[in-house]
Structure 1
């Protein structure tokens, strides 16, 4: 496999993971495969993995996390500022992994490959060659 194909795969895989998780929060996955299944269940989980955050701020944290995942996913899909959004994705995933680790233990983090996903996002942020990215067309147009 070439580096370009690997980069494309990383972009699509990270974006798909974010979009799938977000879709689950809105109840768009069937119940038999769903982790949360609805927004209220996601809020309860957000509270569990963020016990140090006041309960009144949990909805805000959930909204910000979900918005970030959707925005990061869309930008990774189209290849807009890929290095930046890959790095931000890595930090978001690392924050999620650490929250899970300190609240529910390390096993869930490993079972859901959150550290692996964070590592993949950070690796993607270091790949400079453009391939099927909006940035390629923006750069050519401005040159």
Structure 2
């Protein structure tokens, strides 16, 4: 049986886009209580206040007043990046932004909690996966692909 490398690359790109996107949106859903209340099984924060407290824990060097600001910025970026990754729009730039955002999170976790926490939660792996996604030449089954097709048809 011959392995179709193009099909594997297409599927891997789609899989990376979807899983990174849903991972970002799942974290956002958790901080708004959509996965359950604080303390429920599988719930990291359960509400906005707990997320802001966690943001301060990871970024105490920035000062307590910055925690709500950082939490809001990160949440906005996660919603933007998660949605655009799932849709496959501006995928290369979104993947680069996602890689940087997750790397900053991993470094903050390392600084505040030690290296074991980001390793246990595969945060560095998520950042590397987003960087790998940015390096894919063509994003099959995406808005980017549709726009590229439309552009090539109008330039003929």
TM-score over 0.5 for the alignment?
A: yes
Q: CA deviation at 1:140?
A: 2.1
Query: Per the alignment, in what secondary structure is the counterpart of residue 32 of structure 1?
Result: coil
CA distance in 1, matches of 2:42, 2:32: 14
**Alignment partner of 1:112 is 2:118:** no
Mapped pair 1:98 → 2:95: no
Count of matched residue positions in the alignment of Structure 1 and Structure 2: 143
TM-score (norm. length: structure 2)? 0.89
Of 18, 23, 33, the match for 1:17: 23
Say if 2:21 and 2:85, in contact at 8 Å, map to a contact too.
yes
Q: Using structure 1 for the length normalisation, give the TM-score.
A: 0.97
Q: Please list, as runs of the form range in 1=range in 2, the aligned pairs for 1:1-143 lying within 5 A after superposition.
A: 2-30=8-36, 31-143=40-152
Distance between the aligned counterparts of 2:18 and 2:146, measured in 1? 19
Assess if the C-alpha contact under 8 Å between 1:83 and 1:128 holds in 2. no
Deviation at 1:141, TM superposition (A): 2.0
CA-atom RMSD, angstroms?
1.0
Q: What residue is the counterpart of 2:4 in the other structure?
A: none
1:22-73 C-alpha deviation (Å, 9 max, x unpaired): 0000000022220011100001100000011121121110000011011001
Q: Which runs of 5+ in 2 are unaligned?
A: 1-6
SS of match in other structure, 1:141:
helix
How big is the shift at 1:142? Answer: 2.6
